[in-house]
Structure 1
Amino acid sequence: MCFIIIHQRKMKSKLFFLALFLIIPSLVYCTFRTKISGQILSAETDVAIAHARIEIIKTEEIILADEKGNFSIDIEQDNEPFEIHISSIGYKDKHFVFEAGVRYAVIPLESEPIIIPGITIKSTQDNVLTLAQSNISVMLPENANNLEIAELIVRHPDIIVKENAMGEQSIQLHGHESRHVTLMLDGLKLNNPSMNSFHAIPIEQIDHIEVITGNASSAAGDAAMGGVINFVTKKPIHDFSQDILITTGSWNNYSANLQTNLTTGKIKNLINIFGHKATNDFIYCNPLEEKDIRRTNNDITEGSISSKSTFELSKDLSSTLSFLLYKAEKGIPGQTTDYMWFSHARAHALKLDLKEQVRIQVNEYSHDVMLSFQQAESRYRNKIENPFYTYDSENRSRIFDALWQFDHIIGSCSSRAKVGFRHENYTYYDHLVPTQSIDLKIRNNVFASYESLIPFSLFKSSISIIPSLRIDKLMNDDAFLSSHLTIEVPRGPDKFQLSISGGNSYTMPEFTSLFWKGDSRVQGNPNLKPEQSLGGKTSVEWTSKYFSMKASASYNRIEDLIYWYRSAMGVWKPENLTDAELYGFSGTATWEPFEIVSLSLSGSKIVPINKTGSSDHHNKYLPHKPLHKFGTEVTVSPFPLECSFSLNTIGKQYDNFSNTVVVNGYTTCDVGISYSSKLSDNLRLNAFVGVKNIFDESYETSRNIPAPGRNFQCSLKLILQ
């Protein structure tokens, strides 16, 4: 019995020392170890990146983030700072350092093009315009909570946004007027005779913007002599998310946006509600009166509701329904000929867009069938005692589009065929003088296009040839053939790309130019001919780890340009007055000398020359076209802050054909600082404070149209996932 007791005591002692042997190292181990964690998001959309690959630099161990982009790693404290390398398909690799004491971080990844033979993927969605990747530049709304559409697209070196006498914005693309630039929404044309279409799209709806500079009628048809701007909207996602954005700024400028991703059964829904109100009664220098005065009747109240719903019937069959309703009321501040502001002039706008798209994917074949309906109404009224300035007019237009698109990929070759129909009708009502109204006018267009990408090798170099052809047949009118050919050296491992392209385009006269009745002083011209162009472009692009650049040079010859002019009898009338040449160059360069520092430069120079030999204005500059644009932006991003400084210069422009009236160029500076923080596992906060035109530059985008001086903007965005 004693032996058993003694043996048990010895066993307990051994167990005790064994326990100490096991526990003490564990305690020591726990004492010198800790945990770091974080979440990986898309820098452009704030959407979680599922299953991103995370490599621990010191141990070469690899882990994967979960479906919501979250990860956690146990580390030894003496390993701080702690380095990881993150990669995910469709995004740039990122080297990230957890400094000593940092235990959690939200890590954004920037999207990066994926080059697959015959396919180019940029941003979160495929480009929908052309197979020639070198012809498209993609813009991402990286700080969309701080921008309007116009403020985003002017970052492109070839785009300038100007304001007209009605207080409405218009786009110039590499010197080409807005009527020569096709605006598209998800690949369908937006150009509308009744109103400015792009302003109705909420910036929060934009996934990315595709820009083609130069002749593009083979891709977009009518009105693409200067190029195409395609607004590609976000796709609904499966996970629930909700964004709330509130913005305020100078001159009683307030806006709010609510966006929700919601899945019901097999239907994914993206819903967006937007509202904006501003007085915009800024002070400007009036050179006619040589004093500072306040701009009045420049207010705006606008709002929209939009949705996008995707129903996946099967793996290879899906349907997407899109809806947009936009309504606005604004003041009309004045005329272009003088600084006369009207306190009673008002404009009203209403826009409705409906689109249904069905996609069928069968192996390497895909079919898209799209139906679209647009309705736009705008009304302009000025109630004033002076009958010369009194008006009450209304524009109405309805557009119906039907499109079938077929994409085919065989190995490294790909092709795209389209067949479509477009119906436009337009009516103008003059409520004061009904005899000056324009009765219902209709334009029907049937078109077919084909584009292919053919790769081959030449002297051990990969080269692609991308020919495209489109024929448009207008009912009761001529047929127009548009073509384009691109030869490019695709971007390979050395990140170098070179392309040469050329083509022709056309632009039909606007309804108002054809049929405007006006009065004895202003008349339309039903005998106008379409404007036509022929030109070419070459571009080069190179990318390295810390530096990237892209440069291009272009030439475009335009015949039968339409301009309004005053005859010897004092009557304003449009005519095919001018032949012209527009040539120039543009480029961008970005340098990232450090992980948190980025410097970008951009610029363009155009030479728009009148080439009408019989004109007194031969070899003079065309009017209303700024001759150059240069910009610089410096960004410093010590997480969680991002500080930016930008400097933008717009060159002079001439206001008449004889080049005797000059609108001076100008330079503006903007600064901003943003802050990002994760409040909880499902809630993130973005905040922004910025100052535009910090040096209070006084300038005009068009003659006698004053631009705002120094102004402030603040925004707050909550993201719930």
Structure 2
Amino acid sequence: MNKGINLALIFLVIFLLITGQPLMADEGQDELFVLDDIVVTASKYSEKLSDTTVSMDILTQEDIQEKNAQNVAELLRDLSGIYISDYGGVAGQKLISIRGSENNQVLVLIDGQVINSSQNGQIDLSQLPVEQIERIEVLKGPASALYGANALGGVVNIITKGGSRKPITEFKVRYGSFETQQTAFSHRGNTGRVGYNITAVKKDSDGDRENSSLEQMVFFSRFDIEMDQYNDIIISFQYNDSDKGVPGPQTSPSPNAEQDDQDTNINLKWRQNKEAYDTNLLIYHNKHEQVYDNPDEWGYTEASKHNTARTGIEFNRTDYFKLHNLTYGIEFKRNKIDSNENGQHDNLNQALFVQDKWQVIEPLEISIGTRFDDHEVFGSEFSPRFGAVYSINDDLNVFVSAAKAYRTPTFNDLYWPADAYTEGNPDLEPETALAYETGIRYFKQDMKLELNYFTRDVEDLINWAAGTDYIFRPYNVDEARTKGTELMFSKRYNMGVTVGFNYTYLDSRDKETDDRLAPIHNANLDLSYKKGDISSSLICRSVKDRPDELDDYTVVDVKLAKVFFFDEGESELYFKVNNLLNNKDYEVREGYPMPERNYTLGLSTKF
């Protein structure tokens, strides 16, 4: 970044500081915490957070706006129990782990639809912009009883924005280090019975390393059609086109490798809400085309081309009785791949699920559920779950849960192209897990406090190893045990100051070798100030005792923002410094250096 830009940023900071007089000095105007957020992910119907029998984190629209994040990975990385495997830079992959899980053991949904790759089971969160997101719910722990395969580690449910009663137009621009530029436009409104959301995002960056550039274009549209007072139809369409360089690890760089991803998604939902029951029908189709081209690769003949598709139908209903709520449904899902390396394959999964939650006595609720999956390749799986929550008083409750979950092998696991050194294994079995959790939650007006203890035992873990013929194949050979504790605290003080802190202790080990599989200590501190039209925040992330003798690291990010009001709307000008202490040596993923101190200057206007 040249001197002129540095000076401009310094002047911006000074300007915000000297002009940051609050528009409202009355402390009573400060918003208090929402005592009981409403969530849908835990039971597939709307319920209070305090009524859930599992640990959950929620990012509201206010949280998302305050973070000024560029992608979903930046939104989630500061939550308790969450670890983002970051391959560095704007274009580097960012894969999620929950409580020491593998990246492909976390199920990621958008409006209830699975978006994990059927080829490798993962989802690159750096490819998901935040402009169309209303809220995010994170369920920590196995959830196969409702969501089936690949929810072994947890579930991330991304809920998009619908229309608005009044027309809202928003325009955002960002400029930052490494010639990173992002422009976003969205317009939401209503034409009587049809609410709509049209969003477009364009991002370009040279990247912080050689061959780490990114060009991305995303278009999203959603239409909420009110049929009558009980019935709605929601239709959404998204297209995501991304071209990026893939620099590889420093030990074996790939200076000419490129990857092109094109993702097209159509989602249709019918929703019926009545006093006695809710009914939902979801139909979706996703198509993903990926081309990876590395001309320097040993034995190179042509680019790798992978076309995957997923089509699904899910019906679920919840009946509300006086003392219990009964949820049940069916799901059909077909995955396909057409690849010049993996070949052509497809499989079908059919499932039935049911869950009943009832009030045994006034302060005690118990939930029992199970799901039966019939996969045409891997056979059948039962995934039961039990949970209970006991309310000590209006502010304090305790919960316990026990669950079984599983993950099916991916197309890569089964059909990796055979050569003299590696090949897939079509005889693999699903990974299975048994998990337990207990926790205590306290919500009191301006404070939240939660303490959880959890364990998870996983069997038949898929690991690539050399066979007797010295060819590497994936086998169901590993077992892992994870146990840990989470502490979450947030409190809003007078004068607009909020303190947030979370800490995760994690002991995740290979049961045979006793090797550690994840960092032991992970802590996040969030200090923020908001008064009237000015706000600031400082976020500190610290990771200690990492596996494979990787170095510990601590990173500090800061942000300063000011809001300007005008007749028909408002604008926010903000300035962010990432890696404020200029930690030049830290790596989240071995071999992939993280960017040194870098800057972002952004402006958003809403009217």
| Counterpart position of 2:382 | 481
Pick the aligned partner of 1:534 from 424, 427, 434: 434
Contact 2:248 2:254 in 1 (8 A): yes
Deviation at 1:130, TM superposition (A): 12
- 1:606 Cα offset (Å): 0.9
Within a 5 Å distance, the mapping from 1:222-621 to structure 2 comes to: 222-281=149-208, 295-335=209-249, 338-384=250-296, 387-388=298-299, 392-429=303-340, 437-457=341-361, 462-490=363-391, 492-493=393-394, 495-567=395-467, 570-612=470-512, 617=513, 619-621=514-516
Q: CA 1:128 to 1:420, structure 2 compared with 1: closer, same or farther past 3 Å? A: farther
SS in 1 for 2:427: coil
Any conservation in 2 of the 1:174–1:226 contact (CA below 8 Å)?
A: yes
Report what 2:4 is aligned to. Answer: none
- Given that 1:190 and 1:197 are in contact with CA atoms closer than 8 Å, whether structure 2 keeps it comes out as no
CA distance in 1, matches of 2:579, 2:303: 36
Contact 1:132 1:453 (8 Å CA) reproduced: no
Distance 2:134 2:34 in 1: 12
**1:663 and 2:567 aligned:** no
Taking the aligned partners of 2:50 and 2:310, their CA distance within structure 1 comes to 24
Amino acid at match of 2:316: Q
Instruction: Confirm whether residue 704 of structure 1 aligns to residue 588 of structure 2.
Output: no
Structure 2 counterpart of 1:642, one-letter code: S
Contact 1:144 1:203 in 2 (8 A): no
Give the SS at the match of 1:218.
helix
User: Structure 2 CA distance, aligned partners of 1:652 and 1:277?
Assistant: 35
Shift of 1:391: 5.3
Asked whether the equivalents of residues 203 and 217 of structure 2 are also in contact (C-alpha less than 8 Å), the reply is yes
**TM-score, structure 1 as length reference:** 0.76
Task: Summarize the Cα distance change of 1:342–1:129 in structure 2 as closer, same or farther, 3 Å threshold.
Answer: farther
Cα 1:598/1:559, change in 2 over 3 Å: same
1:251 partner amino acid? F
Of 541, 549, 560, the residue aligned with 1:673 is 560
Deviation at 1:537, TM superposition (A): 0.3
CA distance in 2, matches of 1:367, 1:409: 11
Q: Deviations over 1:381-424 (max 9, x none)?
A: 0123x745675101111101101111111234212111110011
Q: Is residue 131–residue 451 contact of structure 1 (8 Å, CA) maintained in 2?
A: no
Distance between the aligned counterparts of 2:35 and 2:217, measured in 1?
33
Please report how far the alpha carbon of residue 182 of structure 1 lies from its aligned counterpart in structure 2 after TM superposition: 0.6
Q: Give the Cα separation in 2 of the matches to 1:130 and 1:447.
A: 29
Give the structure-2-normalised TM-score. 0.89
Q: What residue in structure 2 maps to residue 90 of structure 1?
A: none
Contact 1:381 1:390 in 2 (8 A): no
Q: Give the structure 1 partner of residue 14 of structure 2.
A: none
- Verify the 8 A CA contact 1:131 1:466 in the aligned structure 2: no
**Which residue identity lines up with residue 74 of structure 2 in the other structure?**
E
Cα 1:388–1:439 shift into 2, 3 Å:
closer
- What pairs up with 1:617-628 in 2 under 5 angstroms? 617=513, 619-622=514-517, 625-628=518-521
Give % identity: 19
Residue 52 of structure 2: which of 132, 136, 139 is its match? 132
1:304 to 1:530, Cα distance in 2 relative to 1, 3 A = same
Structure 1 position 144, deviation (Å): 4.8
C-alpha deviation, 1:651, in angstroms: 2.2
Following superposition, the deviation at residue 342 of structure 1 comes to 2.6
In structure 2, do the counterparts of structure 1 residues 596 and 297 end up closer, same or farther at CA, with 3 Å as the change threshold? same
Q: C-alpha root-mean-square deviation of aligned residues, in Å?
A: 2.6
Post-superposition Cα deviations, 1:324-369, rounded to whole Å, max 9, x if no partner, equal: 010000001024xx53333321000010110111112333122111
Deviation of 1:179 (Å)? 0.9
3-state DSSP of counterpart to 1:219: helix
Residue segments in structure 2 that go unaligned for 5+ positions in a row = 1-22
Contact persistence 1:130–1:219 (CA under 8 A) = no
Structure 1 unaligned segments of length 5 or more: list them.
1-80, 85-93, 97-106, 282-294, 430-436, 656-661
What is the one-letter code of the residue matched to 2:191? T
| Counterpart check, 1:167 vs 2:92 | yes
CA offset digits 1:480-522 (Å, max 9, x no partner)? 00011111024852x1121000110011111111111242112
Choose the corresponding residue for 2:572, options 663, 680, 686.
686
For residues 667 and 82 of structure 1, the distance between their equivalents in structure 2, rounded to whole angstroms, comes to 36
Higher RCO, Cα 8 Å, sep 6+: 2
Q: Distance in 2 between matches of 1:275 and 1:196?
A: 20
Name the CA shift for 1:596/1:359 in 2 (closer, same or farther; >3 Å): same
Q: From the superposition, tell whether residues 114 and 344 of structure 1 become closer, same or farther in structure 2 (CA, over 3 Å).
A: closer
Residue aligned with 2:574, SS: strand
**Are the aligned partners of 1:114 and 1:120 in contact in 2 as well (CA < 8 Å)?**
no
